[in-house]
Amino acid sequence: MSMEQQGCIAVNQLGYRRRDAKIAIIPGQGGSFRLVNNESGEPVWQGETSAAVEDKASGETVSRGDFSAWEQPGTYRIESGEGQTSYPFVISDSVYQEAHHALLKTFYYFRCGMELEERYAGSWKHAACHQMPAIVHGDESRRVDAWGGWHDAGDYGKYVVPGAKAVADLLLAYEYYPHAFERLLPLPESNDVIPDVLHECRYELEWMQRMQDNENGGVFHKLTTLNFPGPDIMPEDDTAELYVSPISATATGCFAAVMAKAARIYAAVDASFAAGCLNAAEQAWAWLAIYPEYPGFRNPPEITTGEYGDEQDADERYWAAAELYRTTGEGRYHQAFRQMAEQDTINKYELGWADMGGYGTISYLMSERERDSGLAARLKAGLLQRANELAAVSDQDGYGISLRPEQYIWGSNMLVMNHAMLMLVADRLSDSTAYMRRAIEHVHYLFGANVLGKSYVTGFGIKPILHPHHRPSEGDGVEEPVPGLLSGGPNQGLQDDYAREHLTGRAPAASFADIMESYSTNEVTIYWNSPAVFVLSHCI
């Protein structure tokens, strides 16, 4: 067997649960394939592939070998009649336990403002960072002591909008799959009372509360240095002045939403913290009411860190109204939600930081409060229609995922996981398993069932990414990167110098480089990890 043939057949390198659909993607025209016991080399099952298809996203001709019928636990590989083979994988109902654990533990590694001790961080320990008060941009005499929270990505900026998405995903995962969070990570706060996922989210929520302007209830958009630090600078060595950027409506809206959601979830475990979250949410809503139209955020001229600009704030307001109504039951929030639900400008079924309407829709459909039955029916139908659209794309894709070729953008793996997340929600709303089967194929893609045969999660799979655009992983002197980081994935946009030089002409799904310099393909973020935690929580 040549090195080119080994791993040529794409599989989930972690393995497969016994009763999941199990699909191997085989390059070429297809034909017979067999499942082989990896230890003995003996075939245990054989079958015929589907008809080959020209897969536009990968630029490859592929066929699919379905071995779902085989459920016997063990370690296997797939071999084709052409002499191709897959990497070894296991069949076991516990294949996702460690990956789920690591994807969640990564949020601890993103923590800012505290020492990451060796007893919790292992080799990836580092000193406390970014503890100085920040200058309020435009009011140089004012300081905000907004320590804590999570670094956003491969840099050390902290941003309210993507932070709200990340917390929302984790809290939704806890609501849907509480059993997935019984195991300790552990964290410095770990105890036998509150699950670690809630301790971790609280660390970010408390930082967000420090970002609320106590003079008017609005929320500052972000906290960063003026410019990004060098690529190998450790967080404690990033000592440039910190700046708080101006209040934005998008930050205030998603802050109100996630605080209202947190108030409801934490009420059962910490009534005092929950009350503080609700008070913060109501103050933010009051600011939004005073400013029904507000300019979209843009970086001040001196600041070149991540912008997260968004001219549209209706989706954040829609989400906030839904969460505040679900938490308080107050009619004014219900009225606001119903009014905004009639706006065609709001995308009500997306889960990205720029389009947060899906969180509002999910909250309303999950609500125990009295609902407008006609509106609820329309929202449910719209969400299921969106899930059907994603399923239809998945069924046509050579690797079974819901991305069209043009959707291999910066952070394409976020879309992969957001889509899987939405299909799992649809599964629950429809009492079906059809969406779930397709959602799980998105997990297979993440861990190696892709045209590059690569696991996009550090530390997991036979061919995991090794050089993410993540400053601590680059600067800590540890050979292995921080485990559990989800790479942004293929991006045909050629948005960094390395990509422009080395990836030009590649097919969309192959436009990826496992190298620190390619930040537009290989960066990591909290809000790419968070939907992955949700999806894998379903698998535990």
- Predicted confidence at residue 3, as pLDDT, reads 36
SS3 call for 481: coil
Q: What angle do CA 226, 488, 433 make, to 5 degrees?
A: 135
SS3 call for 36: strand
DSSP letter for each residue of 158-208: EEHHHHHHHHHHHHHHHHH-GGGG-S----TT--SSS-HHHHHHHHHHHHH
Residue numbers annotated as active site: 514, 523
- Predicted confidence at residue 5, as pLDDT, reads 59
Judge whether 63 and 51 are in contact, CB under 8 Å: yes
Within 8 A by CB and 6+ apart from 237, the residues are: 229, 475
3-state secondary structure 78-122: EEECCCCEECCEEECCCCCHHHHHHHHHHHHHCECCCCECHHHHH
What six digits make up the tokens of 182?
A: 């019984």
Which residues lie across from 212 on neighbouring strands?
A: 219
Distance CA(479)–CA(341), nearest Å, equals 50
Domain limits, the chain: 6-91, 97-450+522-539
Amino acid at position 150, single letter: W
- Predicted confidence at residue 431, as pLDDT, reads 81
Distance CA(58)–CA(61), nearest Å, equals 8
Phi-psi region of 477 (alpha: psi -120 to 50; beta: other; left: phi over 0): left
SS3 call for 276: helix
Q: What angle do CA 379, 382, 387 make, to 5 degrees?
A: 125
SS3 call for 62: strand
Distance CA(444)–CA(535), nearest Å, equals 11
Phi-psi region of 113 (alpha: psi -120 to 50; beta: other; left: phi over 0): left
SS3 call for 44: strand
Which residues lie across from 79 on neighbouring strands?
A: 34, 85
CATH node for 6-91: 2.60.40.10
Sheet arrangement for strand 23-27: 23-27, 60-66, 53-55
Cα dist. 535→99, 297, 327, 487, 540 in Å? 11, 31, 25, 16, 9
- Helix H segments across 267-310? 271-290
The separation between CA 227 and the C-alpha centre of its own chain, rounded to angstroms, equals 25
Distance CA(73)–CA(56), nearest Å, equals 35
Within 8 A by CB and 6+ apart from 37, the residues are: 43, 44, 74, 75, 76
- Predicted confidence at residue 4, as pLDDT, reads 44
**Which run of H or E residues covers position 392?**
helix 373-396
Q: At what angle do helices 434-446 and 373-396 cross, to 10 degrees?
A: 50
What six digits make up the tokens of 72?
A: 């016997």
Distance CA(286)–CA(481), nearest Å, equals 43
What are the backbone angles phi and psi of residue 535, rounded to the nearest 5°? -65, -45
pLDDT by residue, tens only, the chain of 540 residues: 333 456 699 999 999 999 999 999 999 999 999 999 999 999 999 999 999 999 999 999 999 999 999 999 999 999 999 999 999 999 999 999 999 999 999 999 999 999 999 999 999 999 999 999 999 999 999 999 999 999 999 999 999 999 999 999 999 999 999 999 999 999 999 998 999 999 999 999 999 999 999 999 999 999 999 999 999 999 999 999 999 999 999 999 999 999 999 999 999 999 999 999 999 999 999 999 999 999 999 999 999 999 999 989 999 999 999 999 999 999 999 999 999 999 999 999 999 999 999 999 999 999 999 999 999 999 999 999 999 999 999 999 999 999 999 999 999 999 999 999 999 999 999 988 899 999 999 999 999 999 999 999 999 999 999 999 999 999 999 999 999 999 999 999 999 999 999 999 999 999 999 999 999 999 999 999 999 999 999 999
CA nearest 80: which of 57, 96, 64?
64
Judge whether 205 and 274 are in contact, CB under 8 Å: no
Judge whether 421 and 448 are in contact, CB under 8 Å: no
Judge whether 399 and 59 are in contact, CB under 8 Å: no
Within 8 A by CB and 6+ apart from 41, the residues are: none
Strands 43-48 and 6-9: unpaired
Judge whether 263 and 216 are in contact, CB under 8 Å: no
What six digits make up the tokens of 134?
A: 């920040």
Q: Under CATH, what is the fold of the domain 97-450+522-539? A: Glycosyltransferase (1.50.10)
CA nearest 380: which of 421, 428, 419?
428
**Which run of H or E residues covers position 15?**
strand 15-16
61 burial class (0-12, 13-18, 19+ CB within 10 angstroms)?
middle
Distance CA(85)–CA(95), nearest Å, equals 21
Judge whether 12 and 400 are in contact, CB under 8 Å: no
Distance CA(105)–CA(111), nearest Å, equals 11
